[in-house]
């Protein structure tokens, strides 16, 4: 079996780690061990960057890896949002409208994909990758230094635009694909076939 087809590779191990550590992150959260929570969440965010970089750099991208990464991302972001809710409820209530808009735009393409394709999307659009970095930076800085409103608004607006692009792709696709670059690439590839 070729290296690019193997599911046993470093990026997949990093994604698996991110999934396996989620119960410990939630233990730290519900035990009010905020420092442990922040450390584990930060390690998850850094390992997310590493798994994507290694997969692209060494051509280790697989369909399995894309799905595993998506599951790990969802778990990490649920953990981060839960941490904001648990440790900083006043922040969530102050910006609840912004969170509702962003989360709705995230959930809609997920739900449509589950109905249409029977699984969550793992498109890995460039806009989603940038969103992951922007949200990761926000989460890290928020838990370590507090909120910086201009960056928060920028992150929310960019994330919402990325989720709209994902929605457009989900609606356009007849079969779910992984590692789609942009809607423009998707459309060009579809037109070329």
111-137: pLDDT as tens digits: 999 999 998 888 889 999 899 899 999
> What are the tens digits of pLDDT across the range 65-108?
888 988 998 899 899 999 999 999 999 999 999 999 999 999 99
Whole-model pTM over 0.95? no
Q: What is the mean pLDDT of residues 160-168?
A: 97
The residue among 14 and 177 whose pLDDT is bigger is 14
Is residue 68 within 8 A of residue 120, CB to CB? The reply is: no
Confidence of residue 5 (pLDDT cuts 50, 70, 90): low
Residue with tokens 């060494």: 58
> What is the DSSP track for 29-83?
HHTT-HHHHHHHHHHHHHHHHHHHHHHHHTT---HHHHHHHHHHHHHHHHHHHHH
Residue 167: enclosing H or E segment and its boundaries?
Answer: helix 149-172
Q: Is 8 left (phi over 0), alpha (psi -120 to 50) or beta?
A: beta
Query: Collapsing DSSP states into helix, strand and coil, what is residue 177?
Result: coil
- How does the average pLDDT of the chain come out, rounded? 91
DSSP state letter for 109: H
Q: Is 171 exposed, middle or buried (0-12, 13-18, 19+ CB in 10 A)?
A: exposed
**Range of weakest confidence among 75-79, 171-175, 187-191:** 187-191
């Amino acid at each position: 079996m070729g290296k690019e087809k193997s599911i046993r590779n470093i990026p997949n191990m990093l994604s698996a780690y991110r999934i396996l550590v989620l119960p410990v992150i939630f233990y730290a959260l519900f035990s009010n061990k905020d420092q442990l929570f922040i450390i584990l969440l930060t390690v998850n965010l850094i390992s997310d960057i590493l798994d994507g970089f290694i997969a692209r750099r060494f051509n280790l991208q697989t369909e399995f890896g894309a799905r595993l990464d998506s599951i790990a991302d969802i778990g990490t972001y649920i953990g981060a949002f839960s941490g904001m809710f648990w440790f900083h409820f006043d922040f969530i209530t102050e910006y609840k409208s912004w969170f509702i808009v962003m989360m709705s735009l995230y959930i809609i393409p997920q739900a449509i994909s589950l109905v249409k394709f029977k699984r969550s999307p793992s498109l890995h659009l460039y806009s989603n990758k940038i969103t992951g970095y922007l949200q990761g930076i926000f989460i890290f800085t928020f838990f370590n230094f507090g909120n910086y409103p201009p960056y928060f608004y920028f992150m929310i607006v960019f994330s919402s635009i990325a989720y709209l692009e994902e929605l457009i792709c989900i609606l356009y696709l007849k079969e779910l694909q992984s590692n789609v670059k942009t809607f423009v690439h998707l459309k060009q590839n579809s037109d070329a076939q």
